[in-house]
Amino acid sequence: MSRFLNVLRSWLVMVSVIAMGNTVQSFRDHSFLSEKLYTGTPEFVNGLQARTFGIWTLLSSIIRCACAIDIQNRTLYHITLWTFVLALGHFLSEAFIYKTAPLTIGVMAPLIVASFSIIGMLIGLQCFPEPQEEVGARQKKRN
């Protein structure tokens, strides 16, 4: 396995652990979301919305951790990449479309993490060995 994929695995574990912490905060006290993320409209944040955010964050954390464990699983790798794309889309839309999350440090942090993760995972795709089916198909075409 390439050195880059090993670094990416460590990054995914770190991001996963941080997300687990955010999950705990979302379940413990929903004011965390209104004080750190959705500061544009804190009155919209309630316990139900915080728990939903917590479950979404927990699911993303589990997927990312599973990818770190089995990083050469292409399907899991692509699903993990999509968790970052969805997170980036969510926070960008809340900041610029719905105006519920102004660009504070609480919003910038997940935007930066998602952006760097997407870039890293796209670079990581280049480190994957070719699937055996594709190699076999190319050899058959040459014959």
The values of phi and psi at residue 130, to 5°, are: -65, 140
pTM of the predicted structure, to 2 decimals: 0.89
Helix H segments across 3-46? 3-28, 31-36
Residue 143 has pLDDT above 80, yes or no: no
pLDDT per position as a tens digit, 52-90: 999 999 999 999 999 999 999 999 999 999 999 999 999
The total of structural domains in the chain comes to 1
pLDDT per position as a tens digit, 24-56: 999 999 898 999 899 999 999 999 999 999 999
Yes or no: say if 25 and 95 are a contact pair by the CB < 8 Å rule: no
Residue bearing tokens 């998602």: 114
Domain range for residue 31? Answer: 1-141
pLDDT at position 30, please? Answer: 87
Q: What's the chain's Rg over C-alpha atoms?
A: 18
Picking from 101, 116, 110, 130, the residue whose alpha carbon sits closest to that of residue 21 is: 110
pLDDT per position as a tens digit, 105-142: 999 999 999 999 999 999 999 998 777 666 566 666 66
